[in-house]
Structure 1
Amino acid sequence: MADLPRHSVSVTAVVIHPDGRVLAIQREDDRRWVPPGGIVELDETPEHAVIREVLEETGVQVKPETLTGVYKNMNLGVVSLTFRCHPISGTPHASDEALESTWLTLDQVQHLMPEARAIRVLDALRDDGPFVRVHDGTQLI
């Protein structure tokens, strides 16, 4: 059993500002615009991972509200749990992982983010989930 491949579990936060804009970062490694998120540590719950990752990447404190989707990167074996969140405090700023952190309109989300990331935002705004989707890291498949 030890030789079997394992999945990595991550979280994505769709943080919705009261004015309808969505929190996003421009990743330091590939410069893509994405919602904040990252790997769930072994000793934390997915909700705590969301809170930690958003704070580390953006400086914004959030409260997770609900699970809105499960997304699997078929090429990397990463399963990401996406949570709709609302901001509690803080102002977005750059970090070690984010060249930039800001609030984007939905139009900007659709134009700047890869499809596999933008769909998480769009799904989080719906009330008929949670959704289960697969992608190749960029496009839905």
Structure 2
Amino acid sequence: MTEPIVVVAAALYDTGGRLLAARRSAPPELAGRWELPGGKVEPGESPERALVRELREELGVDADPVARVPGEWPLKPGYVLRVWRCDLRSGDPLPLQDHDELRWLGPDEIWSVDWLDQDVPAVKDTVSGTA
């Protein structure tokens, strides 16, 4: 059995404790729904390094992975999602790739967006880990 491809995502919080959500613009079956930003780990790359790279490419920011959120969540067959709580080091997030809108969500707004089905359990565990 082959190891799953790891997809990393950031639970990126600002200094006010708001979580960053990104709305997908592609592919068509995911467009318009929201996710935690991130991407695939490349061969020979650590998950933390992949996360830093993906946030730079997708949002134009530098962030520090602080702690992994316990657990992992299945995506499509052969893929698994792992999430890290991250602090924004520098830059203002912009939807540069794969997204057409970003929102900072306060604790009372977390469920005001239509999260991708596969992100819902990760967001629940991320939010419960901030209490």
In 2: Cα distance, 1:87 partner to 1:39 partner: 20
2:74 maps to a residue whose letter is: K
Are 1:27 and 2:17 matched, yes or no?
A: no
Provide the residue aligned with 2:86 in structure 1: 85
Are 1:55 and 2:56 matched, yes or no?
A: yes
Provide the residue aligned with 2:121 in structure 1: 119
Q: Secondary structure at the match of 1:106?
A: coil
Percent of aligned pairs with the same amino acid: 32
Provide the residue aligned with 2:77 in structure 1: 76
- Whichever of the two has the greater Rg, that structure is 1
- Residue 6 of structure 1: how far off its partner (Å): 5.6
Gaps of 5+ in 2: none
- RMSD, aligned α-carbons: 2.1
Aligned residues between the structures = 124
Gaps of 5+ in 1: 129-141
Q: Secondary structure at the match of 2:95?
A: coil
Provide the residue aligned with 1:99 in structure 2: 100
2:22 maps to a residue whose letter is: I
TM-score in terms of structure 1 length: 0.76
- Residue 115 of structure 1: how far off its partner (Å): 4.7
CA offsets, 1:67-99, max 9 Å, x none? Answer: 1131112x4221111111111011011212111
